[in-house]
Each structure stands twice: as C-alpha cells, then as structure tokens.
Structure 1
Amino acid sequence: MSKTHPNVIADHLEEMILEGTFADNDRLDEVQLAKRFSVSRTPIREALQRLTQAGLAERIPRRGVFVRQPGAIELLEMFEVMAELEAAAARFAAQRISDAALKELVDTNEECERALQDKDADRYYRANERFHQIIYAQSGNSFLEAEATRLHRRLKPFRRLQLRLRGRLRQSMSEHESILKALSDGDPETAANVTRQHIAVQGDKFHHLIATLKTAAE
C-alpha cells in the first residue's frame, strides 16, 4: 500500500496522537499535514475522517478538526462492551458457522501465524481484524454484526497498537487457537468465554501500553 494512502496516513496520525506528538485539543490543520506527508489535502481529509470515526478527533463546524483523547474510563467501558458483543457473536457462531467459513477462519489464523513469525504487528492486525469479522458475520445476527463492527472500528487504533507489546502477538495467537477449537467443537459457552477473555486482555494491555508511551515521551 502506498505511503500516501489515506489509511497509512491515518495510521501514522493515530500513533502520533497516542504517543503524545499531538496533545488533546490540538488542531489538526489540513494544510500543515499535507506538507508533512507530501500529499494533497484530499487524502488528509480522508485520514481525518477515519480519526473522527475512531473518536480520536472531533470536527467542529467552521473551526476544523481537533484531537480528542478518550479518557481511561471511557476506554475501559468501550472494551467491556466490545468483549460482551464479541462473546455473543462467538456464542452464536459456534452454533451457526458454516464449514466454508470455518476453513476461512483457519486460513486467516494461519496468516496471523505467518505475521507473528515475521514479527510484523501491523500485518498481524490486518489478519486479526479479518478473523474477528468472520466471527461477526457467522453469528447469523445482522444487528449484532453491525454493532460489533462499529465498535471494532471505534477501537481500531487501540487494538492495533496493543499488539506491539512484547509477547502480545504470541499470546493473541494462543487465544485464537482456543476460540477456533470452541467454534470447531460447536461449544457456544466456551466460545463466548474465551472470546470475552481475548478482548478483555486487550483492554488491560492497552492501558499498560499507554503508560509505557507516556513514560517514553517524558
């Protein structure tokens, strides 16, 4: 993917916000950002749109786009809800997943393993994101799928960055294996429990990551 692609720019901006390069309430000026990334203002606008969707920025009419850092309590609450939504999706999927989707889930997890071996956290995240999307779809509940997808998108920067913590990729892979086994066995309660734990760990790891980033920035 081109380094000037809006999603790549958004990834960089997310990291800069989480690492403190941009502080809460800082204005994200399109002209200055276009110069920084050597692009036109169009991909910058698209990147800023993704930041607002993720809740890391807020667009104020006639003033511009400003950084909005979610507080620890807000993040904890979102991860709690995300864990329950994903647990419900896994519970339903254990009863409804098709053989074709289960194979796709296995193939996607193998891509996660390859990314792990290459120590490529961003590639792992992309495969991991697909892993979860398959489970949402296989829940057979379109409303649940839409809500889980919406909150997943909101938490994307935090879920992506926590994978860079030492040992987290291997731990995530182990959790994926437990989820896959429960789905393959058609065990709804185990699928729900291990998926809930998988997401809850992400929330805990994220807080540790933020503390580490803040210490490094001081």
Structure 2
Amino acid sequence: MSGTAADKLADDLARAIIEGVFPPGARLDEQQLAQRYAVSRTPVREALRQLATTGLIEVRPRRGAIVTQVTPAQLEELFVAMAELEATCARLAALSMAPTERRRLQDLHETMGEMAAANDVAGFTDANQALHTLIYAGAHNVVLADWAAATRRRLSPFRRAQFRVEGRLPKSHSEHDAVVRAILQADAHAAHAAMLHHVTRVERSFEELCAESAASASA
C-alpha cells in the first residue's frame, strides 16, 4: 500500500513544486505533509526519497528536505542529454531487438492508442514509462540502458507533467508511432530521428505547461 501511496504523493508533490506551491528554499516537513495529504509519514518519507533522486528537492542534515532551484538552463541540459540517450537506444533497438521484443513493443503501443483515445491519462502515463523502458532494454546495451533510466528518473516529474497539457496524449502516441514503426522496420536512422523529435516535443509541452501556470498565476 505504501508504495502506491508514495508514488502518488511523489507525483502530487512534484506538481506542487513545479507550480510554485512549494517555492525554492521551502522546507518540506514530514508531519505537515502527512497532514496536508492525509497519509502516514511512511509514504511521505518514500516520496521525498524519490523526489531527491530527481533533483527537485535536497535532503540536508538537521534541516530535512528542502526544495531546490532547478534553473531553465539545467532543465535544458537534462532534456538534451535525455534526447541523445533515448535516440541512441532507439537506433540500437531498431538493429538489435529480437522478434519477441518487437511484438511486445507493438502490442504495448497499440494498447496505448486505446488509452489515448479514451483520455486515460493515468494509464497512458504508466504505459509510457513501460514503452520507453522496453526500448532501453531493446538496445541490448546495459550501460546505455542504465544511463537512460537514471536520466529519465531525474526528469520524471517534468515528463509526467506534460500529460496535463490539453491534447497531449494523442500527440504523444503519434510521436511514439513514428518511433515504433521505425524500430519494427529495423530503420535505425529513422528511429533515432523520431525519438529525438519526440523528446524535444516532450520538453516543449512542459514549457507550455509552465507558461500556462505562470499566466494563470498572474491573472
């Protein structure tokens, strides 16, 4: 139970931090968070541990969890690194995936199409991570897969936030379609280019969300 509660709480806290509810420098007190979100302190601790791996917060001795300042330049660097890592994974997956891996990728992609059509944000968000993980594994390069997964964890709150942009689900699925089609056709060059485009669109969607939040705050 605590794992599910912690995952949801981590998403809620990440959203609150991104939207400025908890500004940079704010201390996140475990007891206060437990009361605010009506949970026990156990999922709060786990949620804070998850957020610490993303760089959104920093756990300091005797001060606890502090919201950090993530600058636009730092985010851009992370997204550029993510795009290059994922594009390389897609290129290698196009060359290296076994037939069973390709079928699994295709099946998941088709299921995600149904989720996008039903506007199932929660299901699509979870499946999205699974799809990218399949591509990392399909590259058959453990070092590269580990780097991609670690970078993705750091960007996870920002990547998940993109799905709050209206109409993002079908667009994301369309971008995935180009990636998956290229991998299934063993077209390494097209897979690389399609994944670069996809991660760039993810970054732009997050920027649009931030702009909308800023406009709403100033209205």
Q: TM-score range by the shorter chain?
A: over 0.9
Structure 1: gaps spanning 5 or more residues: none
Residue type at the aligned position of 1:125: T
C-alpha distance in 2 between matches for 1:181 and 1:110: 11
What is the alpha-carbon distance in structure 2 between the residues aligned to residue 164 and residue 113 of structure 1? 17
Residue matched to 1:17 = 17
Q: Which residue of 2 aligns with 1:49?
A: 49
TM-score (norm: length of structure 2): 0.95
Distance 1:164 1:111 in 2: 20
Q: Give distance in 2, aligned partners of 1:95 and 1:23.
A: 45
Mark the CA change 1:2 to 1:30 in structure 2 (over 3 Å): closer, same or farther.
Answer: closer
Contact 1:109 1:131 in 2 (8 A): yes
Matches of 2:136 and 2:4, distance apart in 1? 31
1:204 and 2:198 correspond:
no
Aligned residues: 218
Stretches of structure 2 that go unaligned for 5 or more consecutive residues are none
Tell me by how many angstroms 1:110 deviates: 2.1
Deviations 1:132-160 (A, max 9, x none): 00000010100000000000111111111
**Matched position secondary structure for 1:163:** helix
Q: In the alignment, is the contact (CA less than 8 A) between 1:133 and 1:149 conserved in 2?
A: yes
User: In 2 relative to 1, CA 103–169 (structure 1 residues): closer, same or farther, beyond 3 Å?
Assistant: same
The 4+ residue runs of structure 1 with deviation greater than 6 A are: 1-4
The structural deviation recorded for 1:36 is 1.4
Match of 1:36 in 2: 36
Q: Residue deviations 1:53-97, cap 9 Å, x none? A: 111100111111011131111111110110000111011111110
Structure 2 residue aligned with 1:70? 70
1:115 CA displacement: 1.8
**Superposition deviation, residue 32 in structure 1:** 0.4
- 1:92 matches 2:89: no
The residue correspondences of 1:44-193 to structure 2 (distance < 5 A) are: 44-193=44-193
Cα deviation per residue 1:84-120 (whole Å; 9 max; x = unaligned)?
0011101111111011111111121123212212212
> Displacement, 1:3?
10
Q: Distance in 2 between matches of 1:148 and 1:79?
A: 11
Deviation at 1:123, TM superposition (A): 1.7
Contact 1:7 1:47 in 2 (8 A): yes
Structure 1 residue 52, shift from structure 2 partner:
0.6
Q: How big is the shift at 1:212?
A: 0.9
Distance in 2 (CA, whole Å) between partners of 1:3 and 1:92 is 33
Question: Shift of the alpha carbon at 1:38?
Answer: 2.3
Aligned-partner SS, 2:27:
coil
Kept in 1, the 8 Å contact 2:117–2:170? The answer is no
Aligned residues of 1:89 and 1:139 also touching (Cα < 8 A):
yes
Aligned 8 A contact 1:90 1:183 in 2: yes
Contact 1:20 1:217 in 2 (8 A): no
Alpha-carbon separation, structure 2, partners of 1:181 and 1:126: 21
Letter in 2 for 1:90: A
By how many angstroms is 1:129 displaced?
Answer: 0.7
Mapped partners of 1:5, 1:182: distance in 2: 37
**2: CA distance, partners of 1:96 / 1:123:** 28
C-alpha distance in 1 between matches for 2:97 and 2:152:
20
